[in-house]
Every structure is written in structure tokens, then in C-alpha cells.
Structure 1
């Protein structure tokens, strides 16, 4: 995967489940909603991977949960 979309457990090379895919989907959905790429301004993927592994979180738009509640996946 591409660094900004990879779940922390994958970065840490730990066991992961389908939840890692949901994490990545959430990052993509936030990008679609906000119109901004995840972790905008980070130029070095190695540093970004380290930050993600150490718990750095993407700032999510506070309105996002309302949008997700109305989303229906078929």
C-alpha cells in the first residue's frame, strides 16, 4: 500500500485483521470528504510510516461521523 493509507499494525509488521482495510477505507473517505490528501505536507514517507507506527493520527473533520451515518454500503 501507499504510506498514508497503511494501518499502524501493518506498519509495525504485526498481525492484522480486516480492520486494517477499514482503517484504509476511512483514510480514503476522509480524503474524498475533505478534498485534501492524508497527512498533507509530509514529504518523507519513511518519517510518516514512523509517525503512524508511533500513533500519529490523521485530523478528521468533525462533521465526518454525520456523513458516515448516512452512508449505505450495498
Structure 2
């Protein structure tokens, strides 16, 4: 099961789903603040990007399990 995060290229912030009421996703600055906001479904991550990112902001979906492996993202 993948561990996915949504990150803004422009700001570096992470978009995480809220785990408490009012259940509205929020942008956080620190990776540490993402807490339980790691996603396991790529389609859910894409839906968050579509719904909550700014129109001029490019977001990426990062698979935490790829980082530091042979399949790591190119620099």
C-alpha cells in the first residue's frame, strides 16, 4: 500500500486531509505536521489536488516509499 503526500511546487506546503471536524483539508508547512494525512489511494490524492489547489499552483503527488530507493524521483 503506497504512502502518498500532496505537495505544492510553488510553496513547498503539503495538502493533508483533516482527521477532525469540519473535515476540510488544509495546507501545512512541515512534513512533521502531516501526521495522519498520508494517503494510500492515488485517486483520492488527485481529487484533493483538483478540489483544493490554487489554479496557478502546480502540485505533485509524492510516494514516500520511493524516496531513497532505486526508483527514487529524478533530481
- TM-score, normalised via structure 2 length: 0.28
Query: Which structure has the highest strand share of the two?
Result: 2
Structure showing greater Rg: 1
Query: Which structure has the highest helix share of the two?
Result: 1
- TM-score, normalised via structure 1 length: 0.29
